[in-house]
Every structure is written in structure tokens, then in C-alpha cells.
Amino acid sequence: MIMEHAELRGLVQKVLPGIRDLRHKLHRIPEIKYHERATADLVSSFIHREGLTILPRYLDTDVVALMQGARGEGANVTLRADMDALPLNDESGTGWSSRHRGCHHACGHDGHMAMLAGSVLVLESLKDRLKGSVRFVFQPAEEEGLGGKKMVDKGVLNDSPEADAVFALHGWPGEPLGTVLSRPGVLMAAADQFELTVSGPGGHGAMPHKTVDPVVTAAQIVCGLQAVISRKLPPQQPGVISVGSIHGGSAKNVIPDYVALEGTVRYLDGRSKNIIRQGMEKTISGICDAGGAEYRFDYTDGYIPLVNDGAMVEFGKRVAVSCFGKDAYREADVPTMGAEDFAYYLDEKPGAFFWLGLGEKSPELHTPGFDFNDEALEYGITFLCGLALEFLGS
């Protein structure tokens, strides 16, 4: 590495108290996708400093900043953090719990923003080591909002200077604190969405023979959809169909006129999309025909698979080992069926997405009790800075 880890760690230690405080402030004011205005204002004011250019906003609630190294023109490294929270109650019980009822940083985006802001502070003091530039992207609407796709479509990676490498870091519960994980190729799944309404005459619960009973039909569809994965999709192409919401009826003795279902479809191979979609349509149509029900099926394309550049994963591995030692990096055993819109950055430019261990006892993501482990901030800032320093200083 172009500088001793002890020197970099010392610089990170100096900014840590302020970064922890920023993380707690961000955790108190969670905002859902495309409403991150207070979040963006807080981040912008925190990183604002001489020599850092805050760019005009691409999506109204993003913050993008550009830092030019002192060694002249060169490559650009783009580092990205997500900003939005989830519509979930905060039951973490911390002294910095959410002040916004029904909204919670349950995916750790407050920690991601804090780590990226910390890298701004540290790299500012090391600009004399950098030949080229660093773009810091604080991106809204990662949670089902396609914010990453919209930022890329707006040109965030191609506006001068064009990005030569893109990296992002996500806190990962269950892994040893500070461990960096990734893998070449597919790391995370595509995620599409669907809505289904099954309808037909309802009636008295005592006279089901006079009804179509959309409840029974919908139940058969839920079970039947699982056969699409097991019998239509090649075994070498993993996929998941999950029905996450079912609504129908309002009284225990009344068979309703309709049942509404919503869910997600996930897969690792882009070729799986049409197989799954067509299989779902045939299954739904067949079951409805058999029961005399009508249906409306809406399938919405969502996130694409996240595919890492192999050389960039290897580069990140070298940085992690250089920063933290030979056991600091571990290759992820298998991809996850979770989705991530950093996939659109990687679809445009070479780069890699990494997970950062938050500790074996960390609560799971997307749960009311989750809180980003402050002890991981030091590792994340150091790793992000190491990526930029090594890429632009070598």
C-alpha cells in the first residue's frame, strides 16, 4: 500500500468521534426514498469544506462531491453510500433512536453515509498522495426506489471526470467485526415485483357452492407458484418467488369477491426472468380457469443482478489485507438473493461491492432492533480510503 496502515489508522482515529456523532444524528432523522431532504442537508453541511466541490443535485435529495488530488489529472474513483431508511418502527432502544415514527435506518444506511463522510475528511488531508480525483456519491432511494439506476441514467458516472472505478460498502451482520467480504461475478440477485388480483362472485360462508371463492383460488396459486421455481427453472439457475402480502375479505362468515396478492421474484441469472414470468402467468391462468375465477397479473421489472468485476474484487482484497491483515478478507461462499441498486453502477463501470462485518451478534438487517455497530465505522472508513489511495496513488 502507498502509505503505512498505522498512519492511515491514526488519521481515521482523529475523525471517529465526529463520525460517530454524525451517524447518531442521521439515525435520529431517517427518511424514506426520495424524501431524504434533511438527511441530504446534514450530509452536505458536514462534508462542506474548502477544496471539495459539491455538485448540483441529480435527484433533488442526493449529495455528490468531487475531490481533486494534488498530483494533477488522473483516474477517477467513485465511492457510493445509500441514504434512505425503511418504513419500519425503531425498536433498537439506543439513545439515538429514530424520532420519526414508522421510519428506521434498519439497513444501516446511516452507517454507510457516516463511513463515506469520514473518508471525505481523511482523504482531504491526503490529497497530496492522490493523482486524479475521488467522487463521493450519497445516493437516495436504494430501498426499492431504483435511485442507483436513476443516478446512473442522469450521468453521475460519466459527467467529467468519468469514473474509472466504482466501489461501495454495506454493513453485514453475522460476520466478524471488520471482516471484508465479496466475490467475483454475481454477488446479489435481481429483484422484480408482482401484483395479482383474483376475483369472482363471493357470498355466504355457509354456501360456498354458490361462489367462486377467490380465497381458495389464491391459496392454490401461492402453492402453485413454488413449482415454477422447482419445475420450470433449470436447477443451475437459483430463483425465489415470495408472496409477501395477501388481502381479502372483512368478515369471518363472508366469502369475498376478490383477493389481492403482492410479492417479489429474485434470480441470479438474467435468463431466468422470462422463464419465471411466463411460468407464473401459466400457473395463475390455469388455476383461475379451473376455479372459474378472473385475474389481473402485473409484473414489474426491478433491480438487475449485481455482478462484480473480478479484477476489482481482487484489488479490494489486496487493500483489505494491507489495511487489516491476512485474515481480514473472506470470499463470500455463495451469492445472496437480496438485491442492491449499486448493480447499475457496476453495469456501467468496472468496480466491486463489498460487505463489512458488523459482528456475529449484530441484529439482522431490516428488523426493528437493528442498529449499525459504531465499532465498524473505523474499518469502513479505512477500507474506503485505502481503495482510493491505492487506486490513485499507484
> What's the rounded Cα separation, in Å, for the pair 219 and 256?
14
- Domain edge (last residue) among 257, 275, 303: 303
Portion of the chain with pLDDT greater than 90, in percent: 95
Q: What is the pLDDT of residues 131-153, one digit of tens each?
A: 999 999 999 999 999 999 999 99
Do both 311 and 253 map to the same domain? no
Do both 19 and 128 map to the same domain? yes
Portion of the chain with pLDDT greater than 70, in percent: 99
Do both 36 and 141 map to the same domain? yes
Closest CA to 161 of 135, 138, 124: 135
- Domain edge (last residue) among 275, 303, 331: 303
pLDDT at 2: 54
Q: What is the pLDDT of residues 250-289, one digit of tens each?
A: 999 999 999 999 999 999 999 999 999 999 999 999 999 9
Do both 56 and 183 map to the same domain? yes
> What's the rounded Cα separation, in Å, for the pair 71 and 132?
7
> What's the rounded Cα separation, in Å, for the pair 377 and 343?
23
Q: Which domain, by its residues, includes 245?
A: 190-303
pLDDT at 363: 97
357 pairs with which residues across the strands? 172
Cell numbers found for residue 233? 427453472
How long a stretch of residues is the chain? 394
The H or E element containing residue 300 is strand 294-303
**Contact (CB, 8 A) for 129 and 71:** yes
- The answer to whether the bond into 161 is cis (omega within 30° of 0) is yes
Helices (H), the chain: 5-28, 37-47, 109-124, 147-153, 214-231, 272-291, 310-324, 343-348, 377-393
CATH code (residue 228) = 3.30.70.360
Helices (H), 207-271: 214-231
Do both 207 and 220 map to the same domain? yes
Q: Output the CA torsion 59→155→157→115 (10° steps).
A: 0
Do both 180 and 45 map to the same domain? yes
Do both 323 and 249 map to the same domain? no
Three-state DSSP state, 106 = coil
Please check the confidence at residue 194 and state whether its pLDDT lies above 70.
Answer: yes
Do both 211 and 182 map to the same domain? no
Mean pLDDT of the residues in the chain: 96
Closest CA to 273 of 245, 232, 312, 308: 232
Q: What is the pLDDT of residues 228-251, one digit of tens each?
A: 999 999 999 999 999 999 999 999
pLDDT at 334: 93
Q: What is the pLDDT of residues 315-356, one digit of tens each?
A: 999 999 999 999 999 999 999 999 999 999 999 999 999 999
Do both 206 and 163 map to the same domain? no
Do both 112 and 247 map to the same domain? no
- Domain edge (last residue) among 303, 333, 358: 303
**Exposure string for 228-244, b = 16+ CB within 10 A, e = fewer:** bbeebbeeeebbbbebe
Nearest 5°: the CA angle 201, 207, 212 is 30
Residues 6+ apart with CB under 8 A from 367: 106
Residues labelled catalytic: 84, 142
Do both 107 and 177 map to the same domain? yes
| Per-residue DSSP letter, 279 | H
Cell numbers found for residue 81? 453510500
Domain count for the chain: 2
Q: What is the pLDDT of residues 75-99, one digit of tens each?
A: 999 999 999 999 999 999 999 999 9
pLDDT at 217: 97
Do both 183 and 194 map to the same domain? no
What's the average model confidence in pLDDT over 301-314? 97
State the Rg of the chain over Cα: 24
Q: How far is CA 133 from CA 74, 128, 129, 165, in A?
A: 7, 11, 11, 11
Closest CA to 256 of 265, 266, 267, 246: 246
pLDDT at 64: 98
| Per-residue DSSP letter, 128 | G
Closest CA to 305 of 262, 263, 353: 353
CATH code (residue 124) = 3.40.630.10
* Residue 256 burial (CB count, 10 A): 21
Exposed / middle / buried, residue 333 (Cβ in 10 Å: 0-12, 13-18, 19+): exposed
